[in-house]
A and B are shown apart, each in its own frame.
Chain A
Amino acid sequence: MAARARSARQQQIEQLLLAPINWIEERSGLVSATKRFLFRKVPRDVSWAQTLGSATLTAFLVQLATGVILAMYYRPDPATAYASIQHITNDLTWGWLVRGMHRWGASVFIILMFLHLGRVFLFGAYRYPRELNWLIGVLILVLSLLEGFTGYLLPWDQTSYWATVVGININGTAPILGPFIADFLKGGAEIGTETLARFYSLHMLLIPGGLIALIGLHLYLVTRLGVVSPPWSKEAAGRERDEVETRKRGLVEPRPRGNANRNGSDQA
């Protein structure tokens, strides 16, 4: 009797604890979606080489977090920008760490992205049905380089200023659109207040917004399509079977209705 009473109370407590989770699940399906994401199957030979993507994501999250903090103290105006950078680096508690992590995190982010790209290329992971995700990845790379270009001006020191002068002139050499882009970036006859404000806005609103959207799409497709096994794996998912093994699994037996229900019957 006692045991059953306790279990009834236990059930009550359990229900109480689960109530908010069930409430969310009933109205959004987010809980089961998270479960499906976490407990989805990946090929069993997936290993360290396939961590470069998530490592890149980590570096990006570091950039987001440190960038938000920097934006609280940075002043995007030529009169005060340089002084605010000095203040962040030298005076602010842990300011050096936040700025240092943002500065060096950018380099780490770019390096990891290139390594991830190389891994995907060498694994042949851009092939059907993952072509679209390759294209999205290349767009992420381009946006990230633009993020680096726009961020480089913000400290407003000689190095960043003159590199940007030349960078904008390089933009101007592009045929047709080039001069317009250069004029838009400058926002005036000289690189000054308008330019800095534009670069700041692009660097912390437009480009990161685009990056977050594209990275979200990238991850959605990774989850939907799955990651490939290493090409050297003996037990790669989707490998060709030799005759004996295939026969054993019944995959070469003729199907009663041709290929008509190919999509359904294979996985049954």
Chain B
Amino acid sequence: MSTSRKREEFARYKADVKNEGKSFFPYAVFHDAVMSLVVVGVIIGLASIWYFTSGEEPGDAGILGPRYTDEADPSSIGFVPRPDWYFFFLFYLLRIFKWPESVILGTVGIPTIALVLLLAVPFIDRGRERRLLRRPVAVVASLLVIASLGILTWKGATAKEGAIGAEAAIPGWIERGNLVEGAEGVIATDPALAGVSPEQAGQLVLEGAELFAQSACLDCHLFQGAGSENLGAPDLTEEGLRGRGVQWQIDHLRDPQSTTPGSLMPSFGSLSEEQLRALSVFLESAR
């Protein structure tokens, strides 16, 4: 539409408002005031339901969740990284995109594209037609956006973490994955384990598996079908086949970004040297 037509139409709008319009005060203000009261009421209602159905104990959740969880502890390892609900759609995008090939699509790519498209709306849609039935593209696009945001938020909200009860699965892992034999192979060949006798294989694997089960690894990683797939984390069932070596695993656990730039994994540097070694042997034996 030509610039002069646009200007004409806006001048017509201005004239119509002037001639036929109603005063902002009190007519529109009345609607706004009623709506604002409803908003404040809803907020107070939510705050009350949240407070009166929950308890003072950390994690004592009512209908709307706990007042707080335990105090932040950087050295703890059994955590569930979970954002506020309006980031759930981003959180769930990271289940769809996997490390290392495509996780950047979920963290940066798609959000950036969505933001640019949103900013570009007035420059993409330059027509003057405002009736919905005559704007099929706009209506379909908005329905798709609403549906995908809704589904991603819902999936993010109901996504299960896999950590609970994982210890019970340890004997099964060791047997099915043939991990003790795998660990003997690792001890025999890995330079970081020089001086460790092959007899220690079973004990190292068991200790590593216990740490693996307790350290919330399964909140993000899959292992032999257990756990979940959050934040683009890879399946660790055959981690030993990637040929990283024990030292790499230790370095990675201590500071994930030093060996894997751009990884989303938090540091497990609060574990002791022996614990890190056992965990690494466990991971390397999985092949």
Residues A148 and B84 in contact in the complex (CB < 8 Å), given A126-B121, A126-B122, A231-B130: yes
- Residues of A near B257 (CB, < 8 A) are 169, 172
Q: List 7 A-B contacts (CB under 8 A).
A: A135-B119, A135-B122, A157-B68, A163-B83, A170-B264, A231-B131, A238-B14
A226 and B13 contacting across the interface, CB-CB below 8 Å? yes
Known contacts A43-B16, A100-B46; 20 further A-B pairs (Cβ under 8 A): A38-B29, A41-B22, A42-B22, A44-B21, A50-B31, A82-B72, A127-B125, A128-B10, A129-B10, A135-B122, A138-B118, A158-B79, A161-B79, A162-B81, A166-B81, A166-B83, A170-B94, A170-B107, A231-B131, A235-B20
A163 and B68 contacting across the interface, CB-CB below 8 Å? no
- Residues of B near A101 (CB, < 8 A) are 43-44, 47
Is A180 at the interface (CB under 8 A from chain B)? no
Please tell me the number of chain B residues within 8 Å of chain A, measured between CB atoms: 93
B20 and A90 contacting across the interface, CB-CB below 8 Å? no
Contact pick for A173, options B107, B127, B128, CB 8 Å: B107
A39 and B24 contacting across the interface, CB-CB below 8 Å? yes
A-binding residues in B (CB < 8 A): 4, 6-18, 20-25, 27-29, 31-32, 34-36, 38-40, 42-44, 46-48, 50-51, 56, 58, 64, 67-74, 76, 79-87, 90, 94, 103-104, 107-108, 115, 118-119, 121-123, 125-132, 135, 138-139, 142, 146, 231, 257, 262-267
Interface residues of chain B: helix, strand, loop or mixed (majority): helix
B24 and A41 contacting across the interface, CB-CB below 8 Å? yes
- What's the Cα separation between A239 and B127 when bound, in Å? 15
B83 and A158 contacting across the interface, CB-CB below 8 Å? no
- What's the Cα separation between A158 and B71 when bound, in Å? 6
- Residues of B near A175 (CB, < 8 A) are 104, 108
Please tell me the number of chain A residues within 8 Å of chain B, measured between CB atoms: 94
- Most chain B beta-carbon neighbours within 10 Å: one of A51, A96, A99: A51
Contact pick for A43, options B21, B44, B139, CB 8 Å: B21
A44 and B8 contacting across the interface, CB-CB below 8 Å? no
The interface stretch among A6-14, A16-24, A260-268 is A260-268
- What's the Cα separation between A174 and B129 when bound, in Å? 38
